[in-house]
Amino acid sequence: MKPLHGKIAVVAGSTRGAGRAIAVMLGAAGATVYCTGRSVRGNPSDINRPETIQETAEMVTAAGGTGIPVRVDHTVEEEVKLLFERVKAEQNGVLDILVNDIWGGEKLFEWNTPFWEHSLSNGLLMQDRGVRTHMITSYYAAPLMAARKQGLIIEVTDGIGYGYRVNLYYSLAKISAIHLAAAMAEELRPYQVTALAVTPGFLRSEQMLEHFGVQEANWMDAVKQEPHYAESETPYLLGQGVAALAADPDVSEKSGKVFGSWQLSDEYGFVDVDGRKPHWGNYAKKHGFPHTE
């Protein structure tokens, strides 16, 4: 029996990257996964990339779970409300896992730009997409979990500390996800619902591979451009970590905390899908990178 057989999950923001990998690995563990996002076949989001939620759902099913694509713009409250009404109706009120990986800020931040020179509208839109969406989604998911006194909410962020992340608006969005998990954990504790945050290390997402002009098969060629990429990881390292957390009967002991993919790999004993065991925490500490401890 797969460890998540019969479990119902929503992965919000699962079109690509970490969200897609998390959805697939939950499926591989046997879960039914509602895969949400804005990009559908024939109608991509303003990120204008080829990945779609239908593809993600198909990958979930191929991995051994049940993938259900639902087009949702998580900035639109009514669409989020309808999503969870559908889950409640289709799954007899059951929701076991929510993963908040909604982002959409790829084209909004300007690295190494003082906040007063940065586009204010883009900076505020980053909060709208990266923070407000998570709040809306959790608002409608939490009652399903609280009513049954069980469930797991996972916030996906960047980094495990509260340190500055190169850009004020980006820092605010990513640190907010960590505190959302911590604050939700406190208010959900009486209902026996767990909330925590997770982060990947240096991610080999579809966009990062494209940025370096490589594919997964030859990703090491990117190290010539960026030496630190040698310690990068596929999105599936974090995906396996989330699946392990969801299957852990003692996961409530982790409520309110934040975990790196490398920490989860150490604790639960898995390696990346390419057979490597990257450890961004150790690497970042050695090279003096912030917010990794």
Q: What gap in Å lies between CA 166 and CA 137, rounded to an integer? A: 27
Query: CATH number of the domain at 8-204+235-287, please?
Result: 3.40.50.720
Catalytic residues, by residue number, are: 170
Which pLDDT belongs to residue 293? 58
pLDDT in tens, 173-228: 999 999 999 999 999 999 999 999 999 999 999 989 998 999 999 999 999 999 99
pLDDT in tens, 265-286: 999 999 999 999 999 999 999 9
What's the first-to-final CA gap in the chain, in angstroms?
Answer: 36
pLDDT in tens, 19-43: 999 999 999 999 999 999 998 887 7
The side-by-side arrangement of strands in the sheet containing 32-37 is 66-71, 32-37, 8-12, 97-100, 152-156, 194-199, 258-260
For residue 232 the two structure tokens come to 């990068």
Q: Contact at 8 Å (CB) between 24 and 4? A: no
Is 291's pLDDT higher than 80? Answer: no
pTM score of the predicted model:
0.96
pLDDT in tens, 58-100: 999 999 999 999 999 999 999 999 999 999 999 999 999 999 9
CA 92-135-172 angle, 5° bins: 150
% pLDDT > 70, the chain: 98
Integer CA distances (angstroms), 287 to 208, 261, 264, 290, in order: 21, 18, 21, 9
Is 230's pLDDT higher than 90? Answer: yes
Query: How many CB atoms are closer than 10 A to CB 253?
Result: 9
Which pLDDT belongs to residue 248? 98
Query: 20: alpha, beta or left, given left = phi > 0 and alpha = psi -120 to 50?
Result: alpha
Q: Contact at 8 Å (CB) between 275 and 240? A: no
Query: How many CB atoms are closer than 10 A to CB 119?
Result: 14
Instruction: Please list the residues that pair with 258 across neighbouring strands.
Output: 197
Query: 5: alpha, beta or left, given left = phi > 0 and alpha = psi -120 to 50?
Result: beta
pLDDT in tens, 100-115: 999 988 888 888 899 9
